[in-house]
Structure 1
């Protein structure tokens, strides 16, 4: 390859300005230098780029096709320079983000990812989706740089969590479940039926069941799915109870037995010994802002 980026920029200027002389004025060069550069480019590419038989040079068919390629090369070079400058200023070149599957299709998360794509278009992003407990583990073993999850106790000394939001929970059962017939089930009523509970990474941190009959799952979506099948009652985040595949098959119960259902905190986690770069910090702030915006609506 003997052609240069300078020659490609001259080709683009000549095509856009309509003549070699106009391109020369635009680039602050002598017209002879522009003509020579185009001639050398044609030799290097073994292809005639301009038809010079008329009063003004016109792109040949081959020249028009290669003009498109030249613009693509220049845009890529600009992206390279921009990315190199950003990395030199401390921005991450790559980011691995792990997201709790309970947060899939949540508008604040999706909007934050859209904003990330617009704000840092050159970032190489890897998204990992996992069930409850996977996220903290991936960050801890450095599979992921940053995690977004529903908070759990006992995440280990290596991890640092920052709360960005909280989610309300709903007490739900299937429409055909016996509890659905009770206007306000008591603690005894609930204890008489299977409870579906979220599993914890550590058995010592697991939520204590109200019922002697209980199943533990590592996914709120799986809990809601089993609840729709009448296999038990469950406390799940409200957005999951309202998820289209579930909402028509679930009944929301109001029960004084549980008091006000506890909220679940949403947090980001990262390793204490790995500094968060500016993009990760920006993403944390944006997530918090998006969750606050949706709470106020």
Structure 2
């Protein structure tokens, strides 16, 4: 390969401007330099790119094909330059973000990812979705750079977290469950039916289950799915109770006996010994703003 980026720029300029002289004015070069560069490109590629028999040069079919490839090469070079500048300025070239599966399809998360694509187009992003306990572990062992998860009472000694939101929980049962006929069940009512409990993030079995009959799960989405099937009642985040596959099959109950359902904190975690660049800082701020805009805070 003997052709150069300079030759490709001359080709593109001549094709877009309609003549070698116009291309020279655009590039601030002499017309002879443009003509020479394109002639050398034709020799290097062993094909005629312009028909010069008329008053103005016209692209040949081969020239049209090469023009498209030349544009693609220069666009890639521009992306390379942008990435190199970002690295030189301290911006992360790549980022691995782990997200709790309970936050899948939440507007604040999806909207932030969409904005991230526009704000940092050169970023290489890897997204890992995991169930309870996965996220903090991935960050701690450096599989992920940052994690977005539902708060844990205990985390590894190398991690630090910052709260970005908290989620409201709802008491739900399947529409055909016996409790659905009791809009405001008391503790005795709840204790007489199976409870679906989220498994402890700390490994502790002290989940304060109200019912003596309970199943533990490590996924709020799985809890909601089993609730729709009438297998028990559960406290789940509001956005999961409203998730389209579930919302028409669940009934929301109120229970003064339970008091105000505890809210679940959402936090962003990272290793203390890992420097947080501008992308990670932007993510923390944008996610916080996105969650604060929700009505279920």
TM over 0.5: yes
Which digits, 9 at most, give the CA deviation of each residue in 1:119-160, with x for residues without a partner? Answer: 111211111111121111111111111111111111121111
Query: Are the structure 2 counterparts of residues 134 and 296 from structure 1 closer, same or farther at C-alpha, using a change threshold of 3 Å?
Result: closer
Alignment of 1:177 onto 2:177: yes
Instruction: Report what 2:82 is aligned to.
Output: 82
Q: Matched residue of 1:43: which SS? A: helix
Q: How many residues align?
A: 297
The Cα shift of 1:205 comes to 7.2
Match of 2:55 in 1: 55
Q: Residue 11 of structure 2 aligns with which residue?
A: 11
- Are the counterparts in 1 of residues 194 and 211 from structure 2 also a CA contact under 8 Å? yes
**CA 1:174–1:132 in structure 2 vs 1: closer, same or farther (change >3 Å)?**
same
SS in 2 for 1:98: strand
Deviations 1:59-92 (A, max 9, x none): 1111111111111111111110111010011111
CA distance in 1, matches of 2:75, 2:206: 53
Consecutive aligned runs of 4 or more in structure 1 exceeding 3 Å deviation:
none
Give the TM-score taking structure 1 as reference length.
0.97
Distance 1:66 1:253 in 2: 66
Corresponding residue SS for 2:291: helix
Match of 2:211 in 1: 211
1:165-188 CA-partner distances (Å, limit 9, x unpaired): 111100011122121122321111
Q: Secondary structure at the match of 1:230?
A: coil
Residues 1:99 and 2:104 are matched in the alignment: no
1:181-238 deviations in Å (ceiling 9; x for gaps): 2232111111111111111232337431111111110000000111111111100001
The alignment partner of 1:203 has SS state of coil
Give the TM-score taking structure 2 as reference length.
Answer: 0.97
Deviations 1:84-112, CA, capped at 9 Å, x for gaps: 01001111111111111111111110000
Q: CA deviation at 1:268?
A: 0.8
- The residue correspondences of 1:31-180 to structure 2 (distance < 5 A) are 31-180=31-180
What is the root-mean-square deviation of aligned Cα atoms in Å? 1.4
Distance verdict in 2 for CA 1:105–1:296, change over 3 Å: closer
Task: Map 1:197-276 onto structure 2 (within 5 A).
Answer: 197-204=197-204, 206-276=206-276
Q: Which moved more, 1:27-36 or 1:2-11?
A: 27-36
Q: Is the 8 A contact 2:185 2:255 kept in 1?
A: yes
| Cα separation, 1, equivalents of 2:249 and 2:15 | 63
List gaps (5 residues or longer) in structure 2: none
Mapped pair 1:291 → 2:291: yes
Q: Distance in 2 between the 1:285 and 1:119 partners?
A: 13
Q: Is the 8 A contact 1:199 1:206 kept in 2?
A: no
User: How far, CA to CA, are the matches of 1:17 and 1:242 in structure 2?
Assistant: 56
Secondary structure of 2:295 counterpart: helix
Gaps of 5+ in 1: none
